[in-house]
Amino acid sequence: MSWWNGDKIIKYEPQQCRNFPNWELIDCGCCNGIEWGGEYPIECKTCGGNGRIYHHKTSGVLALYPGGPFVGRG
């Protein structure tokens, strides 16, 4: 999950999924599941507030969990 260090957003490297070999866990791109840019922060619509999504390495599909709801293309 990405986090703010006071100067910039720090993102973690993708992690391989042991139970789902063709999937990897990646940062959503938000900051701790929150989107900023307006007056108030709102929960991220892409990851549902957890800050992480799954990336299918072959097809490039992004999902909330392996085989789960489609959230984009990487």
The 3-state DSSP class for residue 63 equals strand
Residue written as token pair 């293309």: 73
Position 1 confidence tier, pLDDT thresholds 50, 70, 90 = low
> Quick check: 69 pLDDT over 80?
yes
Residue 56's pLDDT is 94
Residue 59 DSSP one-character state:
T
Residue 46's pLDDT is 87
Whole-structure pTM over 0.85, yes or no?
no
CB atoms within 10 A of CB 74: 14
CB-based contact 26:17 (threshold 8 Å): no
Q: What is the pLDDT of residues 12-60, one digit of tens each?
A: 788 999 999 999 999 887 877 888 777 888 998 888 888 889 999 999 9
